[in-house]
Amino acid sequence: MAEIVAKINPTKAVNRSEALAPLWNWVGVLPFFIFIFVFLILPSTNLFVGAFQDRNGNFTLANVSVILDPYVLKSYSISLQISVITSVLGGVMGFFVAYAITIGKAPAWMRTILMSFSGLAANFGGVPLAFAFIATLGHTGFLTAILRNICFPAAGGSQTCPFDIYQAGFNLYSVTGLTLAYLYFQFPLMVLTITPALVGLKREWQEASENLGGSSAQYWWNVALPILWPSILGSAILLFASAFGAYATAQALTGGSIYLVTILIGQQIRGDVLNNPNEGYALALGMVVIMAVCIVGYSILQRRTVRWLKS
């Protein structure tokens, strides 16, 4: 009986020797926490402390109260919206691509290229990425030109060229364009992080499901997705944070006309015009708080989906 309880609730002490375990357990993660403290927390104290200081180092709440300004709230909202949209779209696309290169048995050469290129693409961003899209889909982009030149003879002897995307209303320098650019690094990130989980799906499970008469869709809905769900959530949070903290791509492509929080922070900390770094620190602190809340929510959600899984 004790063994069964131990298996279900492995961290609850079942006898006295295991009651000492919890404190000893924290020693194992001590190297990690020391490394983090020395190389992440210590250098970042300026951010956490500077948010509450003014230029001369005196304590003030003025910078933090900027967060309540309507245009700042609007910028947080825009950042959150873009992050959610790109992480959902990128997550779905990345999931299917990861499926293609693991279970889906796409040709081997495709798999190798996609896997290694995902590593490269997951880290794209900033001016090179923006320029790649400008050179492709901008007013003078090569793809725009190709599409514009697909012409058919029309009535009356003239030509009609129906594929001019800018005539049709497309604009690269908009939220649509920014989403396209963000997807370039979002979906490879999903591919890379969800592939280990897809590889871990045992073939026997699908065979068992088919033996019991289940269709492929039923297998996915009832067996595979519930197992994969915690990993999918984990990847989604990573994609979300990656988009939330992105700055250079939006700046390069839209020049600040899409007013993300990160662009606001950049204006204060790095800009040549406004110079109130403490306000920038306060805004960044706001981002940290939002992210922490999201992670807590994600952890609760995850614990519920993991409840019935071993470990």
Partner 1 sequence: MSKYVRSLLFGLIAMSFVLTACGTTATATQAPATTSVMPADTAAPAMPAATTAPAAMADWSKATSLADGGGMDALVAAAQKEGNLTVITLPRNWCDYGDMMDNFSKKYNIKIQDVNPDGGSADEVQAIKDNQQNKGPQAPDVIDVGPAYGPLASGQNPSGPNLLAPYKVATWDTIKGSKDDTGLYYIDYSGVLAFEVNTTVVKDVPKTWSDLMKPEYKGQIALPGDPRASNEAAQTVYAAAVNNGGTLDNIQPGLDFFKKLNAEGNLLPLIADSGPIAKGETPVSIHWNYLALADQQTLNGNPSIQVVYPTGTAWGGYYYQAISAFAPHPAAARLWEEYLYSDEGQNTLIKGFCTPARMADMLSRNVVPDAAKAALPPADMLASATIPNPSQLTTARAAVKAQWDSVVGLDIKSGQ
Partner 2 sequence: MKEKKYNLWAIFWATLALLYFFVPLYGTFDFSLRMEKGRLSFLAYQSVLSDPNFLASFRYSAIMGIITVIISVLIFLPTIYWMYLRLPQARPIVEIITILPFIIPVIVYVFGLIRTFSGPPFQLTVTPFKTDILITAGYVMVSMPYMYRAIDIGMRSIDVRTLTEAAQSLGSNWIQILANVIVPNLRIAILSGALICFATVIGELILGDFLVRPALGPYMVEAGRDQAYQPAAMAMLAWGLTWICLGLLQYFSRGRASAQQLTGR
The one of partner 2, partner 1, none whose footprint includes residue 43, by CB under 5 to 8 A per kind, is: partner 2
DSSP 2-50: HHHHHHHSTTS--SHHHHTHHHHHHHHTHHHHHHHIIIIIHHHHHHHHH
Instruction: Work out how close the CB of 82 gets to partner 2 at its nearest, in angstroms, rounded to a whole number.
Output: 14
Of 15 and 140, which has the nearer Cβ to partner 1?
140
Three-state SS at 53: strand
18: which 2 tokens? 């295991």
Angstrom distance (rounded) from CA 230 to CA 13 = 26
Residues 228-267 touching partner 1, rule: CB under 8 A, are 251-259, 263, 266-267
Q: Could you say which DSSP state residue 59 is in? A: B
* Binding site partner of 221, from partner 1, partner 2, none, Cβ cut-off 5-8 A by kind: none
Joined together, the tokens standing for residue 68 give: 């309540």
Site string for partner 1, 268-307 (x = CB under 8 A): -xxxxxxx-x------------------------------
Widest distance between CA atoms in the chain: 94
- As a whole number of angstroms, the distance between CA 280 and CA 265 comes to 5
**What is the closest distance, in whole angstroms, from the C-beta atom of residue 71 to partner 2 in the complex?**
20
Q: Which two tokens stand for residue 176?
A: 């649509």
Instruction: Report if residue 78 touches partner 1, rule: CB under 8 A.
Output: yes
By CB under 8 A, what part of segment 119-178 binds partner 1? Answer: 127, 131, 134-135, 138-140, 166, 171, 173-176
Footprint on this chain of partner 1 (rule: CB under 8 A):
55-56, 71, 78, 81-82, 127, 131, 134-135, 138-140, 166, 171, 173-176, 251-259, 263, 266-267, 269-275, 277
